[in-house]
Structure formats: C-alpha cells, structure tokens
Amino acid sequence: MQLSDRTVAAVTGAGSGIGRALALNLAARGAALALADVNEDALNETALLARPFGGRVSLHMVDVSREAEVAEYAAAAVAAHGRVNLLINNAGVALGGTFEELSQDDLEWIMGINFWGGVYGCRHFLPHLRVAAPARIVNVSSVFGLIGPPEQTGYAASKFAVRGFSESLRHELRGSGVGLSVVHPGGIRTAIARRARPGSLTTRPRAELERGQADFERRLVTSPHRAAARILQGIEGDEGRILIGTDATVIDVLQRLFPARYMATLDRLI
C-alpha cells in the first residue's frame, strides 16, 4: 500500500509515543488523519503538531476498551473524511509484576486495552476498509508477543493474543484488498514503561519497583520517530510482520533457535 495525500489513516493511542510519531510521519506525506486517544490534552498537542502539514485532522476521544466508543469512532472517522483506508491499532498500556502479584482486575484491564481494543478496531473499521480497498490494518504487538519474560504475564498474554489474532485475520483477508501487518517493537523510548501499572497485589517496596522500572527504561534504545518510519516502510512494502530495532531481530532469532531456553541466553546477553 502506497502512502500519499490520498491516505486516510485512523490511529489510536495518537497522543504520545509511537502513535504521535506515526501521526506526524503520515501528516508529512499529506495523509488525512482521524486521531484517537483517551487523553484529550495529549491528543490536542499531537493535532497542533500535525495540522501545519496541511492535511485534514479530526480528533476523537476514545477509550478503546469500550466497544461502543470504538464503534462510534469508526463511524465518526468515515463521516469526517469520507473513507478510511489505513487503520493503526496502536493504543496500549503496560503492567508489571509476577502472576501472583496481578489481580484478575489487572489482567482484565490490560487485555481490555491491548487486545480487545485492537479487536474492536478491526471489527468496526473493517467494513469501511473493504469499501476503501486497497487498504490496510496495522496491529501493534510487541517483542513480548514473541517471547514471554518473567514478570510480564499480563503484558505478554495481551501481546501474544494480538499476534495470534492478527496472523489469523491476515490469512482470512488474503485476496480481499485489505492487507494486515503485525508490529513487534523492541525497546522504544516512550512513556509506556514509565507509566506501567504495578500489580495491585504486590507487597514490594516502592523503591524496589522504581529501581526495576529505571533499569528497564535504560534498555529502551529506539526513538518513536524511527519506529514510526519503520512501520510506514513496512506498510509500503506489504510486510506481514514488522520487527523494530536490532533487539527485536535478535530476540526473534533466539526464540526460533531456543524456543524453550531463550531466557537463559538473553540473561547472559543483557
């Protein structure tokens, strides 16, 4: 799919990080944008940065874990722009802690946003994408949709679910004019780690949690702008799987070589 001033892109999680970088990269190509986020101030800031490029920008306050809001977003985006031919399900959150530190509410919260948010997006935008074909869906998973490290049971579960759903849907859409890419970013310098929610059942001291968070953030090496550029390259190259960062490539290879023992190798490398 070629990106141009005829592209109309719906982007969730557009208020910051990869979502904002995608919006600005698409705006620079002349695309029209239907931007969604749950944070109104952040969404307005993205719009201020995108509008000078000249393309039409509509803003939509959306909690992607609520299907009715996503359905309304799809209808409003098409009403504002006439059509949508690119959907990027990017909105996501992080949750840290061992399985025993996570409550059922914690797990349902992260699955609601990271997994069901993307499913709802596909459900309600797909009929419009079929009409606008050639079109594309981009679902953002994670490198933790390739491996399952300790203390990431909730996050990895949600991102593995995105991967499995996306790969199956891509095969179903073959020949329909609607392509699908699933994205596996490695360590991207966004606020998602800083804003990660600790498991609500944890008894660990706050200082210990903050040290672990800081250590994790030091491993985030790729900028959101580079991540966005790689995603757009993958869209134009019709890539079904888009890996972002050398770390993602290394992890992908290690998982293939040592499917049951990759963590021991990764621990030594880190």
SS3 197: strand
pTM of this prediction?
Answer: 0.93
* List of residues 6+ apart from 80 with CB closer than 8 A: 34, 56, 58
Known catalytic residues are 155
Residue 3's alpha-carbon distances to 28, 86, 206, 207, 227, in angstroms, are 10, 9, 45, 46, 16
Cα dihedral 30, 32, 36, 39, rounded to 10, equals 50
Question: What's the confidence (pLDDT) of residue 9?
Answer: 98
Q: Where are the domains of the chain?
A: 8-269
Q: Mean pLDDT over residues 156-183, rounded?
A: 98
Question: What's the confidence (pLDDT) of residue 266?
Answer: 87
Residue 136 backbone dihedrals phi, psi, to 5 degrees: -150, 145
Residue 140 backbone dihedrals phi, psi, to 5 degrees: -90, 115
pLDDT band at 267 (very low <50, low <70, confident <90, very high): confident
pLDDT band at 195 (very low <50, low <70, confident <90, very high): confident
- Class of the domain covering 8-269: alpha beta
Question: What's the confidence (pLDDT) of residue 249?
Answer: 94
Please, is 222 exposed, middle or buried when counting C-beta atoms within 10 Å of its C-beta (0-12, 13-18, 19+)? buried
Q: Is the pLDDT score of 221 beyond 80?
A: no
* List of residues 6+ apart from 258 with CB closer than 8 A: 264, 265
Helices (H), 4-142: 17-28, 40-50, 67-81, 104-110, 117-132
- Residue 27 near residue 35 (C-beta atoms within 8 A): no
For residue 244, what are its two tokens? 């972002």
Question: What's the confidence (pLDDT) of residue 209?
Answer: 61
Query: Could you tell me how many residues make up the chain?
Result: 270
Question: Of 110, 118, 109, 235, which is closest to residue 166 (Cα–Cα)?
Answer: 118
Neighbours of 111 (CB within 10 A): 17
Question: What's the confidence (pLDDT) of residue 14?
Answer: 98
